[in-house]
Structure 1
């Protein structure tokens, strides 16, 4: 791929996507000439594209950007089937890739490791990258969140013998309803767990499970499937006989908690202090370790490196603390994630009061039929709070939901429900913040809540 890329031009349709903009930056740095379009771009994509002079001058679709001198067009999931730039590319006979197809083509001669699963995949991928990085290994990667020590979240170099890919089960592109992870054709696949949380994409539990089964069945001879054996459905998929495919089950790494700090207990290395916590992260560490072992990393090197892993961006991020209070922000929005994160903070600080706030923000979480999947998911919290914006429900054209619907769904009589972010903020400021922790869980913004101001108020 390294030969004279300077004259090679690639156009991105929907350049603002989290992987799309990272791929655009990486290809530009490899010497390609990159152009792109989108109809809406949010942070951090805006700043990062601007920094590399890749931000489109104006929003919208411009078929005139698609010209015969393009080597390829890369189509993002956010574009639609009738996109005018896509139509022009098809009319001109230009090769159109989805980003998974393009990544596969760039890594056809490498060992491909794919990290999949409903939860934990970003963190497990980040852990593996961190360990490989600390051990000065040469590798390529694609991951969905910002990680400390990595400038860009996509790396495609010619010399790397291996690529580690965070692979999701959602549609590849508007033209291709295959799950993205099927395109990577992994030699090693890790599946972290199966929790049905995208009602709008996979209408039934069976249709959702089938995606992961297909991934496991696609692993070639001499390949490996690594899976969380404590997940009943996944255990069935993982233990299935597959000719010449190694099956590697894992469970939570043994650990202990001392004074709010987690230590991994190991036979050879003794107690290993780490910076992340929670039962779910102990599973993530076991999964990452199994992958690293396949890649030739010794236990000694793994444990030395994992001690400095701080977590992926927006995953259990410490927004502020003093001697009596910690305030965390977590990306958790699906039912299984809300439960795991809430339980993790309570288990880490059992003597502190836990105030947990979950925002219902995604299409699934605001769907009346799906709501009951949240049953008892906030039970580990001492004070449980749910925030949602009725305008978001309207905007997503969903059936209206009431406070009593939410109380009934969560099965918690004392649930505090808010639809106004300033009322939520006042409620939190009025709590008795002594020996307490606050956990804010959302993939949204709690109705543009001023988090920094809130953190300052509580901690002072």
Structure 2
């Protein structure tokens, strides 16, 4: 099968391209910019475009599938050529469904926790050498490529994202998967540039539940009121399995899960991670993994990339980075950090740089998000606001919306870096929350 990727360099797209190459497909692609680690990984497989840009001449009538990434625009010249030739054009999730339509599809959805839960499931399955196809959005220890597609595996585990499928397919990605087994971890308004109201956002999850195949299974977080409303309002038939935060204790800085089989020592911390773990356990049960085997495997799970991930520093200081940027994620991460390091001086840094997080209306969702930290810092770039053509935001407004008068607010990367250099990183513990890089801050030094 001959496939061509328009915008092959994305974190998800390049993994799919590699998976298809490994499956024996003929793979080509284009992009106007490709960064590490995508560049090296594509080059290693021999599918890195020779030059950057869009080349309509690459689109020929013998291509079986064109896979369109979100990075491309509606007026992309390669897309125009593919339409002109009448080629089959797939979004990323649409193509994944085509590859898995004869398998049992397991889809993990939710505003927060879905990457971690999917990673936990894959870690357990990998530990017990149970082969499945999969797609997950973060790099996981022990896996070279985060997409796997085979002819033979019976199950496909998919991280289900509610964001748009492609520039020409504005459906939420997870609506295309039609799960046999699903999980919903939580609902907290996100992507306000696409979903203008909270109800519009929740509607995507209603549709997701409605897309579960007849007689399927939904594992859901019963501690989330919005999730419960969606589940109770569903009209289609499926089996419902609720889950909640399990009992645990922290002793000498170590988290122990309380189970019928005794205390299970863990390598991760935070009540939200234990809640995620409980959801993963119920999904693994559906895949034939008994609780005893689940606990045996989960003890060695160290977390998904950038999810409360410990950074090895030259000075041996204690620093964690986390992908958290949406309000619900920030609040859960800060709470976990407070609980784990109760007797330490705690520094928390948050970078605001997404469209949602820089919207004055949405900022109200961050109320008290940084409370309980000894030093709380928020950074956003005035230049980023200009690039996004958004109105200026004052540091005073940030403090007002966060309801935290002691908040330190930086709008200039150089000033942030200068403040960072004044801190003794061996004194106290540090939490760095961002899907960016704090203006190029080196967290290892």
Could you tell me the TM-score, scaled by structure 2's length?
0.97
- Structure 1 position 221 matched with structure 2 position 214: yes
* Structure 2 residue 341 is the aligned partner of structure 1 residue 349: yes
Instruction: Quote the offset at 1:42 in angstroms.
Output: 2.4
Q: Which residue of 2 aligns with 1:167?
A: 160
- Cα deviation 1:80-132 (Å, max 9, x = unaligned): 11111111111111111111111111111110000010011000000000001
Give the equivalent residue in structure 2 for 1:100.
Answer: 93
* Aligned counterpart for 1:301 among listed residues 280, 293, 317: 293
SS in 1 for 2:444: helix
Give the 5 Å matches for 1:139-218: 139-218=132-211
**Which of 22, 36, 39 pairs up with 2:15?**
22
Q: How does 1:83-122 map to 2 (within 5 A)?
A: 83-122=76-115
1:450 to 419, 442, 445: 442
Give, in whole Å, the separation in 1 of the partners of 2:12 and 2:205: 21
Q: Report how far residue 41 of structure 1 moved.
A: 2.1
Aligned 1:32-431 pairs, distance under 5 A: 32-240=25-233, 242=235, 244-267=237-260, 269-320=261-312, 325-431=317-423
Once the two structures are superposed, what CA deviation does each residue of 1:41-60 show, in whole Å capped at 9, x if it has no partner? 22221221122222212221
Deviates further, 407-416 or 242-251: 242-251
TM-score (norm. length: structure 1): 0.94
Show structure 2 runs of 5+ residues with no match.
none
Secondary structure of 2:195's counterpart equals coil
User: What's the CA shift for 1:451?
Assistant: 2.0
2 CA distance for matches of 1:333 and 1:29? 34
> How far, CA to CA, are the matches of 1:194 and 1:289 in structure 2?
20
Post-superposition Cα deviations, 1:336-375, rounded to whole Å, max 9, x if no partner, equal: 1111111101101100111000000111111122112111
> Judging changes above 3 Å, is the alpha-carbon distance between structure 1 residues 350 and 77 closer, same or farther for their aligned structure 2 residues?
same
Secondary structure of the residue aligned to 2:9 is coil
The Cα of 1:423 is off from its aligned counterpart by 2.4
Q: Give the number of equivalent residue pairs.
A: 445
The correspondence for 1:439, drawn from 431, 438, 441, is 431
Alpha-carbon RMSD: 1.5
Q: Any conservation in 2 of the 1:185–1:219 contact (CA below 8 Å)?
A: yes
Instruction: Specify the SS of the correspondent of 1:341.
Output: helix
